[in-house]
Amino acid sequence: MSQTDQSLSRFNEKLQLVVQQYQAMQRDNARMQKELQELKGKDELHVAQIAELENKVAALKMAAGQIEVTDRKELEKKLNLYIREIDRCIAMLGD
């Protein structure tokens, strides 16, 4: 084999190795992207559960009469926000 053929053969082997590594990285990237989407979904679910539980805690405190002034004001703000949102929806339905 000539020097040029040997160089071309080594180059071809290295190129094949790089292509294999690239394909492996693409598979890993696809797997990681899928895993990331699943984790984001779980995170959103957990955030929603936390918000729901915080609302339940506030409602229980209010029902038990153990609500603090700052918590009461925050709850009133949330209730007013919900009422405005409901009023806005009713107005949209009326149009």
Name the residue with higher pLDDT: 66 or 45: 45
* pLDDT tens digits for range 4-34: 888 899 999 999 999 999 999 999 999 999 9
pLDDT at 71: 73
Mark whether 95 and 74 lie in a shared domain. yes
Query: Are residues 52 and 44 in contact, defined by beta-carbon separation less than 8 angstroms?
Result: no
pLDDT at 64: 77
Mark whether 28 and 70 lie in a shared domain. no
Query: Are residues 58 and 75 in contact, defined by beta-carbon separation less than 8 angstroms?
Result: yes
Name the residue with higher pLDDT: 46 or 59: 46
Mark whether 55 and 74 lie in a shared domain. no
Mark whether 50 and 83 lie in a shared domain. no
How many CA atoms are closer than 13 Å to the CA of 91, on its beta-carbon side? 6
Mark whether 47 and 59 lie in a shared domain. yes
pTM beyond cutoff 0.95: no
pLDDT at 50: 93
Mark whether 4 and 44 lie in a shared domain. yes
* pLDDT tens digits for range 48-78: 999 999 888 877 877 777 767 777 788 788 8
**What's the domain range around 85?**
65-95
Mark whether 57 and 42 lie in a shared domain. yes
Mark whether 2 and 38 lie in a shared domain. yes
Is the predicted pLDDT of residue 1 greater than 70, yes or no?
A: no
